[in-house]
Structure 1
Amino acid sequence: MSNHQRFAEGEDPIRRYDYEDAVVFAADLGHVGDADVDVVDGTAIVVVGDQQYEFDVPAGDAQAFIKNGVVTIEVRP
């Protein structure tokens, strides 16, 4: 099963890393074509093709991006 399938089926491919100055979430979607990520009001929204996935992130200043199929969200309090 690919990481994209686990993400789509609700399994937890998202890893959380807690640092002194930030919390970082990362998920490897594998090879995806059209994908986008954004954070709105404490919710990360990942759009892959015509499917959308959401998960909660802590409050704070969030930056989100996708590079080489890896979704990264960094939240600073």
Structure 2
Amino acid sequence: MNIEHFAHETGQAVRRYEYDDHSMLAVDFGPRSEATVDLVGGTVIVVDGGDQYELELPDDAGDAHTFMKNGVLTIELEADL
């Protein structure tokens, strides 16, 4: 599922930030969340308790980096320069 569909389906707020050399997506799972994240190819896999979400990155996404801190998933996408 893509990020927009995930946000609509789960009611999660997804914010996108654009910079000159990269863009960033942030999803707040809540401060009590113990979610973990992994990146496999073009898919971000989030496991939160008994739920698992597979989020497809855009086809034109450059290198991606993901991390989870205090219940906030951050996906950084490098621009293709």
Scaled to the shorter chain, the TM-score interval is 0.7 to 0.9
- CA offsets 1:3-49 (integer angstroms, 9 cap, x no match): xxx96x4334111112111110101111113x211222322221101
TM-score, normalised by the number of residues in structure 1: 0.73
Letter in 2 for 1:15: R
Q: Which residue of 1 aligns with 2:56?
A: 56
- Distance in 1 between the 2:48 and 2:12 partners? 16
TM-score, normalising length from structure 2? 0.70
Gaps of 5+ in 1: 1-5
Match of 1:43 in 2: 43
Counterpart-to-counterpart distance in 2, 1:23 and 1:38: 19
- Runs of 4+ off more than 4 Å: none
3-state SS of 1:60 partner: coil
- Where do residues 6-45 of structure 1 align in structure 2 (5 Å cutoff)? 9-30=9-30, 31-33=32-34, 35-45=35-45
> Structure 1 residues 18, 56: closer, same or farther in 2, change over 3 A?
farther
How many residues get paired? 70
**Identical positions, percent:** 50
Paired amino acid for 1:63: H
